[in-house]
Structure 1
Amino acid sequence: MPLVPYDRRGALIALGATLLSPALAFAQSAPDPRQPIRYLERALTPADGRVPAPAAVRAAVERSFDTGAIARAVLASHANGATAAQLARFREALTGRIVRDLLRRLRPDRRGQLEITHSRPIGAGEWLVTSRVLVPGERPRAIGWRVGASRGAPRISDVLGSGTSMVRVLRNEYGGALRRLGIDGVATRMEERNRRRPG
């Protein structure tokens, strides 16, 4: 006995299910731009209340940020003539810099939380996620996140706040040194600083 009786009504139901299934599958697999931010927040604020180890923070940065795109954006025109090895080295050093900044800015008392307030598309495969940091006794601080599809998943490509962005700050910081020392020279300096204890 067939599962769906073959009559006009059953044929229409079966046809509708066939046509809708690709759309449902697409909706279920659509990327959530809030995902990398939530993952990063969980990694930085573990349930046991301890300050996360540098290795754990680095793993969270690698998973949450599109470090390759960020490195190229920071290098700007310097990336055009760079070799693959130079780009990879700069990306590694820049990832270490981001990890150091995150560890330095972790609140020792572990107070406060990040609240995601909104997300909207700003281009093909790109979103802007807005959030605010809530700390008892302090005014909420707004933080924006530019998120793009990378390697099959949404990843953070920039962090926005206080009228500027992480990429812009890093580009301004390293621009002069890149002109004087080149990518390898700047990467060497970054690697030396990354080996120091955050503080």
Structure 2
Amino acid sequence: MTQRSMAELEAKLDYFLDSPADVGTVELVVRRPDVDQREVLDEGELDPAVGLVGDTWIERGSKRTEDGASHPDMQLNVMNARIISYIAGDPDRRALAGDQLYLDLDITEANLPAGTRLALGTAVIEVTEQPHRGCAKFADRFGLDALRFVNSPHRRELRLRGLNAKVVTPGVVRPGDKVTKVA
């Protein structure tokens, strides 16, 4: 199992940040049917009520809601495909990050502030303000340096660990689909 050092990750920062700003690509769609399970999909259905159909977001609940229900602004976890591809090393390990959508797109706060809508496939999602941070599982799978790198407090605006989003227009998304900002 490859675990990248902080020096290796720092050396690739410019590459990670060089993702397209306006028109990117969906690289991977992943459903989480149960805890610690991943299904890489050829096609995913996005729905405003449940997020990615067949994913367990709705059942998981959230510590960020008063009643423990699923947080409506955390339906989808989105990560930059370049970052996870490098961190994971083996392409088959990318899905272990736990996100549903992996995009070759600049997902920094400067490029995609909360409220920005993205069209991908036939669906539209909206970036939310809820932060997305790495956890102990991320460290277990990719190493402590990887966790520290993506959670770096002085780089939070870069969203190296990713962002949260919600579905606003239902539709289908596939790897290879273009992803664009909606005016």
TM-score normalised by the chain length of structure 1: 0.23
Bigger relative CO (Cα 8 Å, ≥ 6 apart) = 2
Q: Report the structure number with the largest CA radius of gyration.
A: 1
Q: Which has the higher strand share?
A: 2
